[in-house]
Amino acid sequence: MKTIRGIACLAAVNLMLFLPVVEADVPMPPISIEPIYFEPPIVEATQQQKQLNCIELDNTIRYLHPYRYTYKDKFYEDNTNTMAVTLITADSIPIVGGLLGLGYLTYSSMVEEKENRRMLNVEQKISMLQQLKAELHCFE
C-alpha cells in the first residue's frame, strides 16, 4: 500500500516538474486608488509671499508652528475610545451598544485623519516658506 502511494506521489511530482508552464495573459482593469490614498497638493508660493523679506518669513513660519501639532489624544490615551470598545465587546444588547461604539470609533478615526491632513498641509507651507528663505539667502 505504501509503495503504491509513493509511486503515485512520485508520478505527480514528475508531471509537475516536466509539464510546460502556461501563463494566461489576462488584462487587469485600471483601478483608481485616489479615494483610498491621500496625496497632498503641492504648495506653491504666491506673489505676495515671494515679496516678503527674511524677518517677515520668519514671523510667518513662527505663527504656523502651533498648527504643526495635534491636540487630539492618541487612540489608547483617549478614554472615550476605551468606553466605545467596552460597549462593543461587553454590551448585553450588541445592536445598540455595538452601533454606538462603532459609530464613535469611526468618528474618532475620521477626526484623526482630518488632523493628519491638516498637519501635513501646515508642514508643506512651512517647507515652502523655508525654501523662500533659502532663495533670499536669509541663512547667511
pLDDT one-digit tens code per residue, 24-57: 566 666 766 555 666 777 888 889 988 889 999 9
| Whole-prediction pTM | 0.63
Fill in the amino acid letter for 109: S
- Report residue 49 as a C-alpha cell: 509671499
Q: What region, left, alpha or beta, does residue 137 occupy, with left being phi > 0 and alpha being psi -120 to 50 degrees?
A: left
CB 126 within 8 A of CB 61: yes
Backbone angles phi, psi at 72, to 5 degrees: -90, 140
pLDDT one-digit tens code per residue, 56-114: 999 999 999 999 988 888 888 888 888 888 888 876 666 777 788 888 888 888 888 88
CA-CA distance, 57 to 136, in Å (whole number)? 10
* Closest to 127 measured CA to CA, from 44, 20, 29: 44
